[in-house]
Amino acid sequence: MTGHVIVRTDAAPPADAVAQLARQGVSTVHEAQGRTGLLGHLLRPIYPGARIAGRAVTVSAQPGDNLMIHAAVEQTRPGDVLVVAFTSPNTDGAFGELLATSLRARGVLGLVIDAGCRDVAALTELGFPVWSRAVSAQGTVKASPGSVNVPIVLGGAYVRPGDVIVADDDGIVVVPRERAREVAAAGAEREAKEEEKRRQLADGVLGLDMYNLRPLLDRLGVRYVDATEQGGTATNSADPAATGAGSTGPA
């Protein structure tokens, strides 16, 4: 396929897996798929507290131009996330309240855009979440060709139409649609393990003991010493794990 295209596609991840990934959130999903798929940290939410996951509808656009975002609206459906990359770096405000109103009418959950966003107060009131590179009042034109529903690179990550986009206060992660159920299952397993760790830490167990890190400190040559009354250091003290000091959990 060559040239500029608008691809009509039904490619989508399983809805049940998307719901699980949305609940798990970015950090858990990123870890669950082997610490892959994380988009660059410069893409940040315009307001805190939003958490979404949905099918990616991708856009490749020219800098300073939002024509292809308008063209992409027609290809969206309820539960989608619009994901917009540009052919050159830019921070112009290519998205605002009017486009958000159009997307909201079609059931789109939110937007990830590697450029600027404006009308932040209105978007916040509307409850339409956006993750963007910048907030900028600089306007754009509608004049340049691009493509919709083609593979793109956004924030250093490869995103295909139909992949899962998970976004929250921690950032954005992409999950290949074929792996959605696998990653969701791994995320659920990770959550169960974290709940047990959370219980132990709340009971006062130290991470040093829960993760059995004292032997590692010893192998790395990290020593425990006692300060003198003058504020200096004295001879080595015993490992607190051996004397019971500083440890409330199992060794």
* DSSP annotation string for the chain: --S--B--------HHHHHHHHHH-HHHHHHHTTS--BPPTT-EESSTT--EEEEEEEEEE-TTB-HHHHHHHTT--TTEEEEEEESS----EEE-HHHHHHHHHTT--EEEEEEEE--HHHHHHHT--EEEEEE-----BS----EESS-EEETTEEE-TT-EEEEETTEEEEE-GGGHHHHHHHHHHHHHHHHHHHHHHHTT--HHHHTT-HHHHHHTT---EEEPTTSSEEEEPPPHHHH-TT--S--
Whole-number pLDDT of residue 228: 83
- pLDDT at 77 > cutoff 50: yes
- pLDDT at 233 > cutoff 70: no
Name the band, by pLDDT with cuts 50, 70 and 90, for residue 246.
Answer: very low
Q: Compute the distance between CA of residue 200 and CA of residue 113 in angstroms, rounded to an integer.
A: 40
The predicted model gives 183-194 an average pLDDT of: 96
Whole-number pLDDT of residue 49: 97
pLDDT per residue as tens digits for the range 15-42 = 999 999 999 999 999 999 999 999 999 9
The predicted model gives 229-250 an average pLDDT of: 52
What pTM was estimated for this model as a whole?
0.87
Q: Which residue has the tokens 């309240």?
A: 97
Q: Which residue has the tokens 């109103």?
A: 101
Question: Which of 181, 159, 189 lies closest to 172 in space, CA to CA?
Answer: 159
Which residues are CB-contacts of 98 (< 8 A; sequence separation ≥ 6)? none
- pLDDT at 249 > cutoff 50: no
Name the band, by pLDDT with cuts 50, 70 and 90, for residue 240.
Answer: low
Count the Cβ atoms, other than its own, within 10 Å of residue 22.
20
Mean pLDDT of the chain: 93
What percent of the chain has pLDDT above 70? 90
Whole-number pLDDT of residue 174: 98
Least confident of 55-59, 221-225, 226-230, 238-242: 238-242
Whole-number pLDDT of residue 155: 95
Name the band, by pLDDT with cuts 50, 70 and 90, for residue 151.
Answer: very high
Whole-number pLDDT of residue 216: 97
Whole-number pLDDT of residue 180: 98
Q: Compute the distance between CA of residue 99 and CA of residue 142 in angstroms, rounded to an integer.
A: 13
Whole-number pLDDT of residue 238: 58
What percent of the chain has pLDDT above 90? 90
Asked whether the beta carbons of 43 and 134 are under 8 A apart, the reply is no
Q: Compute the distance between CA of residue 45 and CA of residue 53 in angstroms, rounded to an integer.
A: 14
The predicted model gives 41-54 an average pLDDT of: 97
The predicted model gives 143-156 an average pLDDT of: 97
Residue environment code for 116-146, b if the CB has 16+ CB neighbours within 10 A, otherwise e: bbbbbeebbeeebbbbbbbebeeebeeebeb
Task: Please report how many Cα atoms fall inside a 13 Å half-sphere around the Cα of residue 123, on the Cβ side.
Answer: 26
Asked whether the beta carbons of 6 and 71 are under 8 A apart, the reply is yes
pLDDT per residue as tens digits for the range 197-223 = 999 999 999 999 999 999 999 999 999
The predicted model gives 119-147 an average pLDDT of: 98
